[in-house]
Chains A and B, each alone.
Chain A
Amino acid sequence: MKGHQRLRWERALDSEAIWPLMAGFGALYLAFFVGYPVIYNLIMSVQQVTLGNISTVFRPFVGLDNYRKLVDDPLFATVFQNTLIFVTGNVALQFLGGLALALFFQAAFPGAAFFRGMILAGWILPPLVIGAVWKWLLASDNGVINYALRGLGIVSGPIYWLSDPATSLIGVTFANVWFGVPFNMILLAAGLAGLPQDMYEAAALDGAGPVRRFFALTLPMLQPTIYALLALTTIYTMRAFDLIWTMTHGGPVDSSNIFPVWSYHLSFELFDFGGGAAVSTMMLVVVFIVALIYVRSVRTERVS
């Protein structure tokens, strides 16, 4: 009897008629954990939200006032520029660093697997910890980086990395690049591992040296991986918050302030919840477009 029942269960799970149940669970999950916060955030961005009415949903409708206020804010240009520099700097450096490391670890030398594992360790640390560590590394008086630069005779006095508006963005960018490089390395290493080895042997016999093989074979063959990776890194970097919050709070004088930091600052320090929600919504649109490019590139990868 029991066996018979289990058989019916398994047949039900195997049957195609079960799809509404499967799709239902998926839809419910997405609606609750993704749809609800996104829509709630969208609603907040067109309302006047104060500490007084935060607990109700029906708040005064202000149209696009929150957005208008943001764009008119003199800070907008600064934050926009910072975000642009932070994101492009991160995407470019993380990709180049990841590619260099992936190619480096492709060579089978003693301990390669161990060292690759050590590099990955950076990626599994919480950004909060990474921020704290880099804060110490970049400390102006007793930081290792200033010590090394001075020891090598590159600079004479200490660089006030995180407390000087001229260098704070560079400081947080470095830390975030360090954080993101392992992820780039893994994806590129996986892409490299998928390339047929005999193709390289054929190219060597055809007369292609290592540099030529890289540009004629590796790069074009990795193209789908590279597109997907650039999109993913862009998305991840546009969400960077905790690392910068730990290191600089977006300062000094907003020199390392980027959109996620600004959004947090507006919502939870100035209690301008509508403004914070509006920043989030604008970011969401940009991330959504990049995500769309990512999905498209993944789809072509599967086809080719």
Chain B
Amino acid sequence: MASVTMRGVRKDYGPLNILRDIDLDVADQEFITLVGPSGCGKSTLLRMIAGLETISGGDISIGSDRVNDMPPMHRDVAMVFQSYALYPHMTVAGNISFGLRLRRVVAEKIAVAVASAAAVLNLGQLLERRPGQLSGGQRQRVAMGRAMVRNPRLFLFDEPLSNLDAKLRVQMRAEIKALHRRLGSTSIYVTHDQVEAMTMADRIIVMNQGCIEQQGTPETLYDRPASLFVAGFIGSPSMNLIPGTLQNGRLVLADGATLPFPASAAQEGQAVTLGIRPEHIRPQPGGLAADVVDVEPTGVDTLILCRFSGVQVIASVRDRFRALPGTPIALAFDEDKLHAFDTATGKTLRQ
């Protein structure tokens, strides 16, 4: 088990700057997720921790070792790949035990380790099969087993669930969490799926364009997004973002209509953006006049797409709701759940 420290980590591909000045601390036994849109550098950062990519600048330490120039084989980390990266010519048992055999662990100990991993991951029946004969979910579990048996000081996950179907993904999500609770190993988990990030992590690192945008517990990111990017990225359906100008403490839209705006650091006349989550908008007689654009029942909630003053918002309600497109609707905003952002910088104006 070990902590991970990154100081001013950079990655350049020629003139292209992929990661710039990443400072990040991962505590021992912590489970963090790196989340962000594709191309934000999260996988590159993970591969740099693993030693599969060179580090252009800054330092990465695992425990007390600076690992910048340490080859992957000496870092004592295990990684679960999106493609699973199993050894096609070895059996499941061979795949799981490869790392132990390389370390010349005695055969009896290997057998015990493989058997216990197989029991945890429900692979007992498959030990003599080859990867080509397994389903995606089974391969994924073999990849997990291969990482587990070595008992590494750090687990790295590179979008391990993105090739699985939705049901299996939910199941494996729980299994990975349970595994982490049992082994207590420090884990860094990369995903582009914010639901995965929210449900699994002790702490989420949101990345955007090679920088850390915000980090914190899932609740912090959801309740107090530091920027428009995080506000839009975390949460599904995402936060409604309504741009306008601040006048007399209210948001003025293009056509002169006004909306409530929270107390903030914004100046009078400043271009600001109002953020409100769909669950904080509800239909209420006497409220803001709008038209229904569409209604999407999800089973649990019903999403109501509405339009007013050239702005489209989504409201999410618990109760069943039916209306034809074009029906007038009156909306009310929860005024203590509003978010204020500076439109120009994208940063929060929360005081």
Across the interface, which residues of B come within 8 angstroms of A201, CB to CB? 50, 52, 72, 79, 81, 85
Cα A12 to Cα B71 in complex, Å, equals 61
Interface: B222 (CB within 8 A): no
A206–B102 touching, CB < 8 Å: yes
A198–B85 touching, CB < 8 Å: yes
Interface: B55 (CB within 8 A): no
Across the interface, which residues of B come within 8 angstroms of A199, CB to CB? 85-88
A204–B99 touching, CB < 8 Å: no
Contact residues of B between 81 and 97, Cβ < 8 Å to A: 81, 83, 85-89
Q: How many residues on the A side are at the interface (Cβ–Cβ under 8 A)?
A: 18
Cα A247 to Cα B253 in complex, Å, equals 91
Tell me which of B72, B87, B89, B132 contacts A205 (CB under 8 A): B72
Cα A205 to Cα B85 in complex, Å, equals 11
Across the interface, which residues of B come within 8 angstroms of A206, CB to CB? 73, 78, 98-99, 102, 146, 150
Cα A221 to Cα B77 in complex, Å, equals 25
Cβ contacts A to B, 13 pairs, < 8 Å: A196-B85, A198-B83, A198-B85, A201-B50, A202-B146, A204-B72, A205-B50, A205-B72, A206-B98, A207-B103, A207-B150, A212-B102, A216-B98
Closest residue of B by beta carbon distance from A212: B102
Across the interface, which residues of A come within 8 angstroms of B75, CB to CB? 205
Main secondary structure on A side of the interface with B = helix
Contacts A198-B83, A216-B98 known; A204 to B88 CB distance under 8 Å? no
Q: Besides A204-B73, A217-B89, 13 other CB < 8 A contacts? A: A201-B79, A201-B85, A202-B81, A204-B51, A204-B71, A205-B75, A205-B77, A205-B78, A206-B98, A206-B146, A209-B73, A212-B102, A216-B87
Across the interface, which residues of A come within 8 angstroms of B146, CB to CB? 202, 206
Closest residue of A by beta carbon distance from B71: A204
Closest residue of B by beta carbon distance from A220: B89
Interface: A145 (CB within 8 A): no
Across the interface, which residues of A come within 8 angstroms of B71, CB to CB? 204, 209
Q: How far is the CB of B148 from chain A (nearest CB, A)?
A: 12
Cα A101 to Cα B103 in complex, Å, equals 31
Contact residues of A between 187 and 227, Cβ < 8 Å to B: 196, 198-199, 201-209, 212, 216-217, 220-221
Q: Which of A196, A206, A209, A217 has the most CB of B within 10 A?
A: A206
B89–A221 touching, CB < 8 Å: yes
Closest residue of B by beta carbon distance from A201: B52
Q: How far is the CB of A110 from chain B (nearest CB, A)?
A: 14
Across the interface, which residues of A come within 8 angstroms of B51, CB to CB? 204-205
B85–A208 touching, CB < 8 Å: no
Cα A202 to Cα B132 in complex, Å, equals 17
Across the interface, which residues of A come within 8 angstroms of B72, CB to CB? 201, 204-205
Cα A198 to Cα B83 in complex, Å, equals 8
Cα A212 to Cα B146 in complex, Å, equals 18
B89–A207 touching, CB < 8 Å: no
Q: Which of B50, B52, B75 has the most CB of A within 10 A?
A: B52
Cα A198 to Cα B87 in complex, Å, equals 10
Across the interface, which residues of B come within 8 angstroms of A207, CB to CB? 73, 99, 102-103, 150
Which 4 pairs between the two chains have the least Cβ-Cβ distance? Answer: A198-B85, A206-B99, A202-B85, A204-B72
Cα A198 to Cα B158 in complex, Å, equals 12
Tell me which of A203, A220, A221, A304 contacts B98 (CB under 8 A): A203
Cα A260 to Cα B304 in complex, Å, equals 85
Q: How far is the CB of A167 from chain B (nearest CB, A)?
A: 43
Closest residue of B by beta carbon distance from A206: B99
Cα A168 to Cα B86 in complex, Å, equals 50
Across the interface, which residues of B come within 8 angstroms of A208, CB to CB? 73, 98, 102
Q: How far is the CB of B260 from chain A (nearest CB, A)?
A: 52
B52–A204 touching, CB < 8 Å: yes
Across the interface, which residues of B come within 8 angstroms of A196, CB to CB? 83, 85, 88
Q: How far is the CB of B100 from chain A (nearest CB, A)?
A: 9
Closest residue of B by beta carbon distance from A217: B87
Cα A199 to Cα B98 in complex, Å, equals 12
Q: C-beta contact mask, B134-153 vs A, less than 8 Å → 1, else 0?
A: 00000000000010001000
Q: How far is the CB of B8 from chain A (nearest CB, A)?
A: 25
Across the interface, which residues of A come within 8 angstroms of B73, CB to CB? 204-209
Cα A27 to Cα B263 in complex, Å, equals 88
Cα A209 to Cα B102 in complex, Å, equals 10
Across the interface, which residues of A come within 8 angstroms of B132, CB to CB? 304
Across the interface, which residues of B come within 8 angstroms of A221, CB to CB? 88-89
Cα A199 to Cα B84 in complex, Å, equals 9
Closest residue of B by beta carbon distance from A223: B89
Q: C-beta contact mask, A291-304 vs B, less than 8 Å → 1, else 0?
A: 00000000000001
Cα A205 to Cα B158 in complex, Å, equals 14
